[in-house]
Copies of this chain bind each other. A is one copy, B any other.
Amino acid sequence: MSIQSPIPVRDVSFRGLRQSCSNCSLRELCLPIGLNQDELRQLDTIIAQGRPVKRGEALYRAGEPFRSLYAVRLGFFKASVISEDGREQVTGFHMTGELLGMDAISTDFHTCDAIALEDSEVCELPFADIETLARDVPALQHHLYKVMSREIVRDHGVMLLLGNMKAEERLAAFLLNLSQRFAVRGYSSSSFHLRMTREEIGSYLGLKLETVSRTLSKFQDQGYIKVQNRLIELVDVDSLKRLLNSCQG
C-alpha cells in the first residue's frame, strides 16, 4: 500500500497496443502485450462490437445469469450491492479500460449491479470463449489471473480505508485515487468532473452524503481543493497526501 495510492489503481498496465486495435479499448488497457498477430485475430473474433449503455442504465444486475465480462470502452460505471431494505453499498467506480463482472464467475450469476453514470460503451467478452482462448494463449490466461488479483488487492485497500480511516482521510484517498486514474488515461489529474453523486461517494466510502459534502467544503476552506458542484480542482495535492501519510505511512 503506497502513500500515493491507498486505493490501488487498476487495469492500467499494458497500454500501447492502440495501433492494432480499432474496435475496442480492451487491448489498450486490459490485455497483455505479447500476443502475436494470429492470437490478436482470434481475440477479435470473440469480442463483440461495442455496446452502448446510456446514463442511468444497468449493464447488468445482481441475479442475472453470467455470460460475459465487460471492458469499459468509454464512460463511467458504478458497481454496487443493494440490500433488501434499499441501502446501497457501492463496491467500486469503473472507468475506461477497466473490467467489470469478475465477481460473477464464482456463481455464474452476477452479484452486483453495474450502472452507467454517464453515456458509456462497453466491449462484451463472452467468458467461456475467453477461457477457451486462454488455454492456447498462456499470456492471456496469466493476465486474467492478474486482473482478478488486482481487483482483490484493490478491495483490500478499500477495507483498509473503511476499517481504519477517518472521513477526511477517506475523501483525500478517494480524490487522489481518481486523480491518478484520470492522469493515467491522459486526462488532467488536477481538474476533473465527478460522475457520481455525493450519496454514491458516501456509499463507497462508508459515509453519509452530508459528511461528504461537509468534508469537501472543509478541504476547499483549507485551500486543498476547489469545488464547483461536481467539478473538482486539486489545488494542494501535497496536503491531501499528507492527510494520508499520517494514517498509512
Contact B131 A89 (CB under 8 A): no
Nearest-CB residue, chain B, relative to A111: B153
Across the interface, A163 reaches (CB within 8 A) one of B89, B102, B156, B246, namely B89
Contact A155/B159 with A87-B164, A138-B135, A164-B83 known, Cβ cut-off 8 Å: yes
Would you call A186 an interface residue if the criterion is a C-beta within 8 Å of the partner chain's C-beta atoms? Answer: no
Stretch at the interface among A18-26, A43-51, A141-149, A228-236: A141-149
Across the interface, A249 reaches (CB within 8 A) one of B84, B105, B106, B144, namely B84
Contact B1 A81 (CB under 8 A): yes
Task: Report the interface size for chain A: residues with CB under 8 A from the other chain.
Answer: 48
Q: Could you say which of A103, A138, A145 has the most chain B C-beta atoms within 10 Å of its C-beta?
A: A145
Would you call A247 an interface residue if the criterion is a C-beta within 8 Å of the partner chain's C-beta atoms? Answer: yes
Would you call A29 an interface residue if the criterion is a C-beta within 8 Å of the partner chain's C-beta atoms? Answer: no
A112 to B89 Cα, complex, angstroms: 25
A164 to B91 Cα, complex, angstroms: 12
Contact B106 A149 (CB under 8 A): yes
Would you call A162 an interface residue if the criterion is a C-beta within 8 Å of the partner chain's C-beta atoms? Answer: yes
Q: A34 to nearest B CB, angstroms?
A: 15
Contacts of A87 in B (CB 8 A): 164, 247-248
Contact B247 A163 (CB under 8 A): no
Would you call A40 an interface residue if the criterion is a C-beta within 8 Å of the partner chain's C-beta atoms? Answer: no
Across the interface, A164 reaches (CB within 8 A) one of B105, B141, B160, B206, namely B206
Q: A99 to nearest B CB, angstroms?
A: 11
Contacts of A105 in B (CB 8 A): 145-146, 148-149
15 contacts between A and B (CB under 8 A): A1-B81, A1-B83, A83-B160, A89-B156, A102-B148, A102-B152, A103-B152, A105-B145, A106-B146, A131-B141, A131-B145, A155-B158, A158-B159, A159-B162, A162-B162
